[in-house]
Amino acid sequence: MNVATQIFAVLAGLLHVGVFLMESVLFTRPNVQRLFLGNAANTPQLQTFAFNQGFYNLFLALGAIGGVIAGGAAGKAIALFSCACMVGAGVVLLASQRRMWRGAALQIVPAGLALLAALL
């Protein structure tokens, strides 16, 4: 795995760790709720969903970062699969909620750059 792929995969993973923290740990904070188009009125209904979704993001992050750390063909496959899932999730987010374009870009760009760099 080349250095650019490693850098972008780790960056994508770290961003997803941040999203995990926002969704699973900090979701009840008003400033975090606004990032996800939520508010105090719908927080109780969304909190379980956000908690679960946060762990999905954490597992993707662990795959990207762990794959880079593991190295070799297996590590590369795990990291790139995780990055491909991140890109896919970002595309779905953008297609389903255009107002979340910034969040979608944070999912798509670093992971997509890791995938592109892997082709070089």
Q: What is the pTM of this model?
A: 0.91
What is the C-alpha R_g of the chain?
15
Q: What is the pLDDT along the chain (120 residues), one digit of tens a residue?
A: 999 999 999 999 999 999 999 999 999 898 888 888 777 777 888 888 899 999 999 999 999 999 999 999 999 999 999 999 999 999 999 999 999 899 999 999 999 999 999 999
Per residue in 54-75, pLDDT (tens digit) is 999 999 999 999 999 999 999 9
d(CA 61, CA 16): 5
